[in-house]
Structure 1
Amino acid sequence: MDTKFPPGANSIEARDIAYQMHPSVDLRQYEETGGLIIDRGEGIYVFDAEGNRYIEGLAGLWSVAVGFGEERLADVAYAQMRKLPYYHTFNYKSHGPSVDLAEKLIEISPEHLKKVHFTSSGSEANDLVIKMIWYRSNALGLPAKKKIIGRIKGYHGVTIAAGSVTGLPANHGSFDLPLDRMKHTLTPDYPRDHLPGESEEEFSTRMAAALEDLIAAEGADTIAAMVAEPVMGAGGVIVPPAGYWDKIQAVLRRHDILLVADEVICGFGRTGNMFACETFGIRPDVMVTSKQISSSYMPLSAILMSQDFFDPIADESHRLGIFGHGFTASGHPVATAVGLENLKIIEERDLVGNAARLAPRFLAALKALEAHPAAAWSRGVGLIGALELHPGETPAAVGKRAQALLLEEGVIARGVGDALCFCPPLIITAEQIDDMFAAVGRALDRLVAEQEA
């Protein structure tokens, strides 16, 4: 199909189709239909090229904590651009913004996390963590201890290693993934997968037993780490059932397997605490953060690690004479300056507290929608949640149609399978939550009317 438009074509939609290859779409369908062109943002709202306003119910990609159009972040970026627009952290060099942000992250994170390394995305961060785990095993004289456990439906990015730990078939197909070092255990999806009469605690015990069985089958001496989200995001907002994290951590400790907490979506207030590890009583060896660290105003991620994790890596770098890794933009001064200011805004405006205070209203609104004939059940924690819809004959078709109808009602959400997922900016108000879910109700009414026609 030839979609070439002449240079200077005056339609942004036409030029988008002609010149851009988009992620996470059916590329041939995009050539046929194009996509929604977003022109500007203000608070919890974004506006398309025609001027239509939408509640951004997914905060962009689970990430714009402080909302759109925050002038303080623009001002800090401009000031840093003028002072030091770029520098690196290679070869025994550093700069103020990266130092300041690292110090701030250590101040607000769980107290056993002592070191920070910056990258530019969650995928990049998780990929590097896996490299560091392998490096660390070699440093400890454990060359066989290299396998990484993820979970079915887990999401950790799309680079080769991180994409392999991800447990979503859409991110594996035709990419020759996953790598054979990556293993996957069960999804802790209690509403969908529990046995008749099985309590949440009993279900969690079964999930821990499945992990124990996987470790026994592979050999504990070959498994280095488990990488897991406290709340599974892109897999459909799957909230862990009672007892799950206590039981999983006990298994990992028993077999000397590291735990990497992927807080890319959950971190910086989403669950009503600064980190979801606090919400669920998780003590990770490594914590990966991104998205809300800068409200995605700049590409930025940070790996936080314990001293026990760091020390063997540092010792090995001393033996070799170098830690042979680095990205050009790691610790970028503009990105880290914006990240620091973003964290100041989150603290000054008590956005973590806002998430905690509004969580009951948000979750109650989701719960109320369970009474709708299109809905099956809801789930969530803090200001992240999902509404599961009754499926149709084709998997995910109902979720896709509901997402499209909701867009027409002025709300951007994410269809994952046959669920609608929500993760609004942390600045959202009670009234805006009501507006968002009223629109969901209208969209579901239209969905049912179509199904009955």
Structure 2
Amino acid sequence: MLETAPLSNLQTRDIESVLHPYTPLHKLKQTGTLVIERGKGVYVYDTRGKEYIEGMSGLWCAGLGFGDEELADAAAEQLRSLPYYHLFGGKGTESSIELAEKLKELAPVPISKVFYTSSGSEANDTQVKLAWYMNNALGRPKKKKIISRIKAYHGVTIMSASLTGLPYNHKGWDLPVDRVLHTDCPHFYRYGQEGESEAEFVQRMVQSLRDLIEREGPDTIAAMIAEPVMGAGGVIVPPQGYYPAIQAVLDEHDIMMISDEVINGFGRTGNWWGSQTMGMTPKTISVAKQLTAAYVPLGAVMVPEDIYQAYVDHSAEIGTFGHGFTYGGHPLGCAIGVKAIEIYQRRDIVGQVRALAPVFEARMRRLNDHPMVGETRYSGLVGGVELVADKKTRRPFDASKAVGAQLSKFAEGHGAILRALGDTIAFCPPMIITEDELNELFNRFEKALADTEVFVDQGKLRQPG
């Protein structure tokens, strides 16, 4: 197994100055930090010059990899002409208008307007505010609750973290807030009952949702928000037929579907939108991350004409539409978004994902034979490998042993950056990755998996629970 290198001066200074998100802060002095200095293509390099395949596109977002000259040139051009302006008070910029038009053309459902934010968290936070504003405009002041799901991830603002259905987003933060409900997680491997088929599991999920709506009262529920493929909750791909079935229940009770495409959008699942891949029919859509290929922070909410008209009517009643962000629609972000979409189209990134998806699937399926792999899950070029202590019973490892985190450390040693979501290892490589690079990513992962098996056996972590 690999030894931990001594901390460099730069790593030490980082520990003293940076508050790291999603990090066990109590362990940081022992583990140090991995300081990334530069990147090119699917590779990034640390301050020692070590090369890594960035198997997570950073945080699910650098879909065009690193060091793309076209994106850098677009940024420089925009910065020279108009480095900043806002959209408040009816102001506009050419790049914000052009990007909105492109998003409307690409949208999987009819879209009339685009509201800009700086992140996916802000986009989902805005989704809730807009749903409340709309229902006030329509004279439905009680219709305000939002349904999310256990293991969902929708962000870290107070409201978007409340929508998120993960314990560490709630523990210690006094969350979730009122008006947020969580229904069952559609993960058949973990939550299917003995002898239950996937179709029966879907019907149970649907009935659970129906029961929740009837218990709370459909006149109190504004929307349900869902990631087509769930990301940070473990890369969970719902069973076939799940979304059409729950959509019918929502339609029956006049509850709109919000699609959180922050990870799924712009080709990741083999279609422009994850909602197309999974058979969703959303009313509104959240986007961010690959919207700019991660080169500049930008998010957006896409809404149809009938909802926009409700905003107009309420603005007339109140006097203004009182919501917005200083950097919402930043001209730099929008210019990069325009260029990123142009590149996605010109380079046929969707076709690239579809061509590589069988290779990705084959390497995932091969892992299913490993004694520590309980399940692999994937769609397009996003996937997860779930580690288990007992393959037959699906018993997980003791969470305190952090087996997944240990594997990700071993992977770094072998030159691959992946993300441990508990004991599920997530894959989300840049969509420009070649077949050879994709195979090399899996080769490096398999070496880390072998190291982890030794670590588990030495620690006797697979003893009966």
User: Given the two structures, how large is their TM-score scaled by the length of structure 2?
Assistant: 0.94
3-state SS of 2:45 partner: strand
Alignment check: 8 A CA contact 2:109 2:283 kept: no
Task: Tell me, in whole angstroms, the C-alpha distance in 2 between the residues paired with 1:355 and 1:110.
Answer: 18
Q: Tell me what 2:414 maps to.
A: 409
Task: Tell me, in whole angstroms, the C-alpha distance in 1 between the residues paired with 2:30 and 2:315.
Answer: 51
Task: Tell me, in whole angstroms, the C-alpha distance in 1 between the residues paired with 2:366 and 2:273.
Answer: 27
Q: Which moved more, 1:51-60 or 1:24-33?
A: 24-33
Task: Tell me, in whole angstroms, the C-alpha distance in 2 between the residues paired with 1:401 and 1:15.
Answer: 24
Q: Which moved more, 1:329-338 or 1:111-120?
A: 111-120
Compute the displacement of 1:15 (Å).
1.9
Matched, 1:394 2:392: no
Matched, 1:76 2:74: yes
Alignment check: 8 A CA contact 1:259 1:285 kept: yes
Q: Tell me what 1:274 maps to.
A: 272
Compute the displacement of 1:424 (Å).
0.4
Match of 1:93 among 70, 91, 94: 91
Compute the displacement of 1:12 (Å).
2.0
Q: Tell me what 2:224 maps to.
A: 226
Task: Tell me, in whole angstroms, the C-alpha distance in 2 between the residues paired with 1:245 and 1:224.
Answer: 18
Matched, 1:419 2:417: no
Alignment check: 8 A CA contact 2:148 2:180 kept: yes
Compute the displacement of 1:196 (Å).
2.1
Matched, 1:265 2:263: yes
Compute the displacement of 1:307 (Å).
1.5
Give the counterpart letter for 1:368 in structure 2: R
3-state SS of 1:288 partner: strand
Task: Tell me, in whole angstroms, the C-alpha distance in 1 between the residues paired with 2:405 and 2:206.
Answer: 33
Alignment check: 8 A CA contact 2:161 2:176 kept: yes
Matched, 1:428 2:433: yes
Q: Which moved more, 1:191-200 or 1:161-170?
A: 191-200
3-state SS of 2:368 partner: helix
Identity score, percent: 48
Compute the displacement of 1:32 (Å).
4.2
**Structure 1: gaps (5+ residues):** 1-9
Match of 1:114 among 106, 112, 115: 112
Task: Tell me, in whole angstroms, the C-alpha distance in 2 between the residues paired with 1:373 and 1:199.
Answer: 24
Alignment check: 8 A CA contact 1:395 1:417 kept: no
Alignment check: 8 A CA contact 2:109 2:281 kept: no
Give the counterpart letter for 2:133 in structure 1: Y
Q: Tell me what 2:319 maps to.
A: 321
Alignment check: 8 A CA contact 1:98 1:333 kept: yes
Residue deviations 1:213-242 (CA, integer Å, cap 9, x gap): 111111111111101100100000000101
Give the counterpart letter for 1:429 in structure 2: T
Compute the displacement of 1:394 (Å).
3.5
Q: Tell me what 2:142 maps to.
A: 144
Q: Which moved more, 1:395-404 or 1:243-252?
A: 395-404
Task: Tell me, in whole angstroms, the C-alpha distance in 2 between the residues paired with 1:145 and 1:32.
Answer: 49
Compute the displacement of 1:281 (Å).
1.8
Compute the displacement of 1:452 (Å).
2.6
Match of 1:156 among 154, 165, 168: 154
Alignment check: 8 A CA contact 1:149 1:183 kept: yes
Task: Tell me, in whole angstroms, the C-alpha distance in 2 between the residues paired with 1:292 and 1:271.
Answer: 12
Q: Tell me what 1:27 maps to.
A: 25
Give the counterpart letter for 2:437 in structure 1: Q
Match of 2:335 among 330, 334, 337: 337
Alignment check: 8 A CA contact 1:189 1:240 kept: yes
Compute the displacement of 1:395 (Å).
5.1
Matches within 5 A, 1:200-211: 200-211=198-209
Residue deviations 1:280-300 (CA, integer Å, cap 9, x gap): 221111100000000110000
3-state SS of 2:399 partner: coil
Q: Tell me what 1:166 maps to.
A: 164
3-state SS of 1:272 partner: coil
Matches within 5 A, 1:302-317: 302-317=300-315
Q: Tell me what 2:245 maps to.
A: 247
Q: Which moved more, 1:20-29 or 1:85-94?
A: 20-29
Task: Tell me, in whole angstroms, the C-alpha distance in 2 between the residues paired with 1:72 and 1:36.
Answer: 28
Matches within 5 A, 1:320-399: 320-390=318-388, 391-394=396-399, 397-399=402-404
Give the counterpart letter for 2:239 in structure 1: P
Give the count of matched residue pairs: 444
Q: Tell me what 1:3 maps to.
A: none
Compute the displacement of 1:197 (Å).
2.5
Alignment check: 8 A CA contact 2:404 2:423 kept: yes
Task: Tell me, in whole angstroms, the C-alpha distance in 1 between the residues paired with 2:309 and 2:354.
Answer: 36
Task: Tell me, in whole angstroms, the C-alpha distance in 1 between the residues paired with 2:196 and 2:20.
Answer: 43
3-state SS of 1:238 partner: coil
Q: Tell me what 2:391 maps to.
A: none
Q: Which moved more, 1:368-377 or 1:43-52?
A: 368-377
Aligned residues: CA RMSD: 1.2
**Structure 2: gaps (5+ residues):** 1-7, 389-395, 459-465
Compute the displacement of 1:204 (Å).
0.8
User: Given the two structures, how large is their TM-score scaled by the length of structure 1?
Assistant: 0.96
